[in-house]
Amino acid sequence: MDAITRMRCFIQVVDSNGFSAAAREMGRSKALVSKYVGELEDELGVRLLNRTTRQVSLTEVGEAYYKEAAEILQRIDDLQASVQSSHQEVRGRLRVSAPRSMGDDMLNKAMMHFLTRYPDVNLDLRLEDRFVDLVEEGFDLAVRVTQLEDSSLIARKIAPFRTIVCASPEVVERYGAPNVPADLSTRPCIIDTNYRYKQNWAFQSEGERLSVAVKGPLEVNSAAAAREAALAHLGFLRTPLFFVADDVKTGDLVPLLETFEEPMRGIYAVYPHRRHLSAKVRALVDFLVEWTAKNPAG
């Protein structure tokens, strides 16, 4: 167990970016954590961390060791969890990646209710607009608006997903409602750079896909900021329907070009292939499916 303890201390130091923070997280003294990491380096005969008075950083060999050690400890934790309870209690640290725009809206409420139902789970929710490598970066689960392309991953559809072009009534009155997607090329558009095609908005007409180049007064990598811009009458917006569903219901934003939208896609829970899926991951996936069914995205 000493070897595992040393390994856990090393992982925690890296995750916490320092010995003091790691000691607080583990409920141990800084001296003891430093001692364990030093013993691990002595045992391996290599330096895993570069230390300065202000920070620590991984050496090249330390980076490789960290990735392997994190995976080993995860397997140990999963094994212990499955053996300790025939019902596989839902507990432990759960690392989840999701797009920022989804976290700003629909995921926040869902995750808080999940933690209320499963108080023994420690959630590490990372909201960032990039496709993380689940295995390489140590994530248990990612929520993605996409089709599954990586055969090494498993995906379960959580909910349907669609985008919408919309604008405030003031903008529609000022510039006129577009009759076809090409009309947007001559109107001010708010560009959310998180959107896959950025300044080229994709539509469908009579079964054929078409793209329209748009421009406007604002480019921003935040769905929340883009929504505020639309409500401030700055232009036409392309955004996930769930993000502006309430605004559409109140009439603050008007849906446009609905017959030209591409077929509805899906929001997926994506996780690595594992022989025994941990109870915490299974519980979260089931919960998200249940939550989105009760709280449809627009």
pLDDT of residue 116: 94
Cα separation, 16 vs 6, whole angstroms? 15
- Kind plus residue range of the DSSP H or E element containing 209: strand 208-213
Helices 19-26, 30-44: inter-axial angle, 10-degree rounding: 110
Cα separation, 3 vs 258, whole angstroms? 60
Helix ranges (DSSP H) in the chain? 2-16, 19-26, 30-44, 60-84, 100-102, 108-117, 134-137, 169-175, 223-231, 241-250, 279-294
Residue 90 carries which DSSP code?
A: -
CA dist list (Å): 280 to 90, 94, 95, 142, 206: 5, 7, 10, 14, 44
- Kind plus residue range of the DSSP H or E element containing 160: strand 153-161
Consecutive 10-residue runs of the chain (298 residues): their mean pLDDT?
86 90 90 92 92 85 91 81 59 87 74 93 85 81 70 76 92 96 96 82 86 94 90 94 89 94 80 72 90 73
3 state DSSP class of 212 = strand
Cα separation, 273 vs 283, whole angstroms? 16
pLDDT of residue 166: 97
pLDDT of residue 267: 85
CA neighbor of 143 nearest in space, from 78, 109, 95:
95
3 state DSSP class of 128 = coil
Residue 165 contacts residue 255 (beta carbons within 8 Å): yes
Cα separation, 210 vs 187, whole angstroms? 18
HEC assignment per residue over 165-205: EEECHHHHHHHCCCCCHHHHHHCEEEEECCCCCCCEEEEEE
pLDDT of residue 95: 92
The tokens describing 186, both together, are 């001559």
Give me the long-range contacts of 77-85 (CB less than 8 A, separation at least 24).
78/274, 78/276, 78/278, 81/278, 81/279, 82/276, 82/278, 82/279
